Amino acid sequence: MGLEFMPIFEGWAVDYDEEVNGANPEYQEVFANYWQILDEITAHSGQSVLEFGSGTGNLTEKLVAAGKTVYPVEPSPEMRDMAAKKDALQATSFFAGDMENFPLPPEPVDTIVSNLVFHHLTAEEKQKVLKEYNQILPIGGKIIFGDTMFLSQTVYDTYLRTEKEAGRQNLAADLEREYYPVISELDQYFQKSGFQTTYRQMNRFVWIVYAEKIMEAE
């Protein structure tokens, strides 16, 4: 799962919660409506949730507070440690793993969620894991992912040029380095994996994809 990005997260763990609240001006647009995005993912989740890239536990907290059973998976030990120290998560077990390699939950799940994680996978990896998630979920089960994505390649190119011209070089480097999808291509991945989808734009960069399993993947 793009574990080449792990050093970034190891250095980011301490500051992550400050950045999602707007502490870094360069990323304010990326994190706009951050807590609303987590609320939206939580509201549409079922009762038993597998969460990928749980990070410092912000989405995990929301899910637990809503009374859901959560199995959070996070590759960064530093991030897991930060999450485990939060008062509301003292009874929650965090699992080492990523979107490709993870321990199966001990009980069936009806929802798989993540926020700002799926872009770490290449196009090929995205397609592979969606078929695997299909096997985990029942018919009617859901995938709910919040992430940066783009309506078209032209939109991506425009955004990248805008960030470079504005001097937001770190954000521009992120856009070039990671694997942000075009929605039409992402939608094909979901459809081929047995899901029907809807999308909602939450800020200039981030959308939520709501995917429901309607058939077994081939």
Coil/strand/helix, residue 100:
coil
Q: Which residues of 26-38 are buried (b: 16+ CB within 10 A; e: fewer)?
A: bbebbbeebeebb
Show binding-site residues for S-adenosyl-L-methionine: 53, 74, 98
DSSP state of 106: S
Strand order in the sheet with 195-201: 95-96, 69-74, 48-52, 111-115, 142-148, 206-213, 195-201
Smallest CA-to-CA distance from 190 within 142, 150, 152, 151 is with 142
Show binding-site residues: 53, 74, 98
- Residue 26, phi-psi category: left (phi > 0), alpha (psi -120 to 50), beta (remainder): alpha
